Amino acid sequence: MANAADDLPVEVEKQGEAVVLRPSGEIDLGRSPSLRTSISKVQSNRPQRLVFDLKDVPYMDSSGVATLVEAMQVARRYHGSVVLCGLHERVRSIFEIARLDMVFKIVDTLDEALQA
Amino acid sequence: MKGLPLIADPHVKIDMLSQPRYLAGARAMIASVARRLGFREADCAHVALALDEALCNVIKHGYEKREDQHIWISVWPMEGNCCGIRILIEDRGRQVEPAEIRSRQLDDIRPGGLGVHIISQVMDHVEYNKREGGGMSLLMEKHMAAEESMPQARKEPA
């Protein structure tokens, strides 16, 4: 049963050929469906580069990671790219544990992400 | 239950419904308990992550996303030669052979299937069992590094 508490605010901003998604809050099994919906809307326009600015995401579990993996696979199908930036240490750690830090392009800042 | 007898009553016991909205509360509880037991912050985060992943697995696979089912979380401090925290998660969901619970290959890049791997990476002891009468149990332990297991547990940040 979804409710308002399961909604994850996601700010969407177009920057040149890139679209920046800035989710805000913890991403877990309850909220990853909301993130997936936001991503799907953005990816329906096939942006060349999708940047996830995760500076306002203090926590993410494997359901959040799975949502980003899905976004990367969709982007690859239309020859787009996905870049992650602003990861908190706790969030970066889960990508490392899942050995996905070598699969995703992960940079420190939004500027780097837009130039990656 | 193999290995570690759970003779004493748990110090914390929580009965939660199988709804993802309660994951944040469960994470906050276990991180707070781990902090008061003296774990460093990074380990508190790992204990919370392991509990979250375990609960997600119960919700997704054990109860197939039914939201009116119960999950029981029991917590014990570990003292003596091996200090740390012991967590038991029990459900009445679908039973599987413990030997069949394994992570997917990590080089197979696809969404999902990471929870079991994450739990095994961040916890020191992980043991799945079938419960008598139905459901599964997962016993997890996190041990403290020697420098953490001092007589006085760390104070909770204000």
User: How far lies B100's CA from each of B95, B104, B129, B130, in Å?
Assistant: 11, 11, 11, 12
Tell me how far apart the terminal alpha carbons of chain A are, to the nearest angstrom: 39
- Confidence category of residue B82, pLDDT binned at 50, 70, 90: confident
pLDDT one-digit tens code per residue, A22-75: 999 999 999 999 999 999 999 999 999 999 999 999 999 999 999 999 999 999
Phi, psi of B145, deg, nearest 5? -65, 155
ipTM score here? Answer: 0.91
At B131, the amino acid letter reads R
pLDDT above 70 covers a percentage of chain B that reads 84
Whose structure tokens read 């308002």?
A: A4
Inter-chain residue contact A28 with B110, CB threshold 8 Å: no
* Domain assignment present for B151: no
Query: What's the number of domains chain B is made of?
Result: 1
Inter-chain residue contact A67 with B111, CB threshold 8 Å: yes
pLDDT one-digit tens code per residue, A70-99: 999 999 999 999 999 999 999 999 999 999
Identity of the residue in B24, B114, B122 whose CB atom sits nearest the CB atom of A28? B24
Scanning chain B, the segments in alpha helix (DSSP H) are: 23-37, 41-57, 115-122
* Domain assignment present for B149: no
A62 vs B: CB within 8 A: yes
Q: What are the residue boundaries of the structural domains of chain A, listed by start?
A: 10-115
Full-prediction pTM beyond 0.95? no
pLDDT one-digit tens code per residue, B83-130: 999 999 999 999 999 998 887 776 676 666 799 999 999 999 999 999
Portion 35-54 of A in contact with B at CB < 8 A: none
Q: What is the DSSP letter of A48?
A: S
Size of interface A-B (CB pairs under 8 A): 70
Going by CATH, does the domain composed of A10-115 fall within 3.30.750.24?
yes
* Domain assignment present for B158: no
Provide the shortest C-alpha distance from residue A70 to chain B (in Å).
6
8 Å CB contact between A67 and A53:
no
Inter-chain residue contact A98 with B20, CB threshold 8 Å: no
